[in-house]
Amino acid sequence: MCGKPDSASNQPWLGGRDLDFLLHVADQLGLRSLLIGLMIFVPLERLFALREQQKILRKGVFTDLIYAIFNGTAVDILAGMLLAPVIGALAVLMPPSLPSAVSSQATWLQVLEIIVLTDLGVYAAHRAFHAIPVLWRFHSIHHSVEEMDWLAAFHSHPVDQMLTKAVALLPVFFLGFSGASIGIYFVIYAAHAMFIHANVKINFGPLKWLIASPQFHHWHHAGERAAYDKNFAGQLAIIDLIFGTFRVPGATTPAKYGVDDPIPANYFGQIGYPFLPRKGHDLGKAVVGTVKPASEA
pLDDT 10s digits, 109-152 = 999 999 999 999 999 999 999 999 999 999 999 999 999 999 99
- Angle at which helix 107-131 crosses helix 158-175, to 10 degrees, equals 140
Q: What is the pLDDT of residues 62-116, one digit of tens each?
A: 999 999 888 876 676 777 777 777 777 776 777 888 888 999 999 999 999 999 9
Phi, psi (5° rounding) for residue 222? -65, 140
Rounded distance between C-alpha atoms, residue 273 and residue 287, angstroms: 20
What torsion, rounded to 10 degrees, do the Cα atoms 248, 56, 234, 258 define? Answer: -70
pTM of the model: 0.83
Using CA atoms, how far residue 91 sits from 11, 14, 209, 283, in Å, is 7, 11, 36, 41
- pLDDT band for 266, please (50, 70, 90 cuts): very high
| 92: number of Cβ within 10 Å | 7
CA distance 103 to 4: 6
CA 80 to chain CA centroid, Å, is 16
Of 70, 249, 89, 286, nearest to 170 by C-alpha is: 89
At 237, the amino acid letter reads A
What residues does 222 pair with on adjacent strands?
Answer: 257
Percent of the chain with pLDDT over 90: 61
pLDDT at 184 over 70: yes
pLDDT at 91: 67
The mean pLDDT of 37-60, rounded to a whole number, is 93
